[in-house]
Structure 1
Amino acid sequence: MTLLLLHGPPASGKLTIGRIVAERTGFALFHNHLVVDAVTALFPFGSEPFVRLREATWLALLGEAAAAGRDTIFTFAPEPTVTQAFIPTLAEAWHKAGRRTLVVALTIDVAEQERRLVEADRRAFGKLTDVELLRGLRSEMAACGAVMPPADLTIDTGNVPPDKAASRIVAAIG
């Protein structure tokens, strides 16, 4: 059983590609914004209760998926409000359950990222759509991405369409 950790910066195509991979593999798709949206209904993004509850919920749900042997795709954007312990704790939970973690990093150039950021479909999950805010956060987000575990596969989604990116991921799953 596999946890596919599909990570990348905002607007790199995590959900789009994750949906295709889920359709082709039967993996469950757990989009990180499902929890983010639930917690921000009660607590401001980045506040102490938000960070604590978001990570506890992610870990509880993904830990249960590991225990149940449920192949899972988790979309994730490394950013400053995520504690540095989160990803190692998640990977350890899957390892203890005898499961595999496959890390896929999506990359995208700045111009394409900013073009995608303002697309209407991003509002459906309350995703980041403010280009100026992204520009202000870009260096912090890049630093957070730099401490992610080494990727088993890296895909430049500015040059590789979602269908082909999904095919590469499915091949890496084996």
Structure 2
Amino acid sequence: MNLVFLYGPPAAGKYTIGRELASLTGLALFHNHLVVDSVAAVFPFGTPAFRRLREQFWMDVFEAACAEDRSLIFTFQPEGSVAPDFADRVRQMVTKAGGTILFVYLTLSHEEQVQRVANADRGKFGKLRSVDLLQSLQADFEACERAMPPPDLTIDTGTTEPSESAHRICALMRDHGLAR
């Protein structure tokens, strides 16, 4: 099982690039908001039950993917309601199963992020759309990003089109023997 772990701040293009990468590679896209939105339908974001169930769901999917040698793409936004060691535990699980995990950090300028956050299409998955809330959470997001494992690749999505980003990730996968 191999895992492409796309992470970055709100509006960095994780879902868009993940879709492009899934199209190029045939890998399943395990998009963060599939779980977040499902659990948040019952438990308010950040509550103990929400946090426990969200992480349990993520880890159960990774465990099953490892057991069935099913590679995938995962999108993730580091933030304070997620355990700081989450990414390291995912890496340990994947490598213990004989797989490889590639961390790809998607970044963009604050100005570009502010423009994108307000986009109506972000409402489809209940994503952050408030510039004021973004501003108030910015320090938390940045601290959580710094706690992530070092990326294998960093892409500035403010200057790189989604298709080019996906192709760069495919090249990284080939360099690690994970794709043709």
TM-score normalized with structure 1 length: 0.98
2:44 is matched with 44
2:16 is matched with 16
2:173 is matched with 173
The within-5 A match list for 1:1-150 is 1-150=1-150
Amino acid at match of 1:87: A
Name the SS of the counterpart of 1:81 in structure 2: coil
Query: For residues 166 and 142 of structure 2, what CA distance do their matches in structure 1 show?
Result: 23
Query: For residues 169 and 48 of structure 1, what CA distance do their matches in structure 2 show?
Result: 35
Amino acid at match of 2:142: A
Please report how far the alpha carbon of residue 85 of structure 1 lies from its aligned counterpart in structure 2 after TM superposition: 2.4
Query: For residues 101 and 43 of structure 1, what CA distance do their matches in structure 2 show?
Result: 30
Please report how far the alpha carbon of residue 154 of structure 1 lies from its aligned counterpart in structure 2 after TM superposition: 0.2
Name the SS of the counterpart of 1:151 in structure 2: coil
Amino acid at match of 2:119: E
Q: Alpha-carbon deviations, 1:110-164, whole Å to 9, x = none? A: 1100101111110000000000000000011100000100000000000111111
Query: For residues 66 and 170 of structure 2, what CA distance do their matches in structure 1 show?
Result: 19
Name the SS of the counterpart of 1:5 in structure 2: strand
Please report how far the alpha carbon of residue 50 of structure 1 lies from its aligned counterpart in structure 2 after TM superposition: 0.4
Structure 2's unaligned 5+ residue stretches are 175-180
Please report how far the alpha carbon of residue 88 of structure 1 lies from its aligned counterpart in structure 2 after TM superposition: 1.4
2:178 is matched with none
The answer as to whether partners of 1:63 and 1:90 remain within 8 angstroms in 2 is no
Structure 1 runs of 4+ aligned residues shifted over 6 Å read none
The answer as to whether partners of 1:65 and 1:71 remain within 8 angstroms in 2 is yes
Question: How many residue pairs were aligned?
Answer: 174
Query: For residues 18 and 49 of structure 1, what CA distance do their matches in structure 2 show?
Result: 28
2:164 is matched with 164
Structure 1's unaligned 5+ residue stretches are none
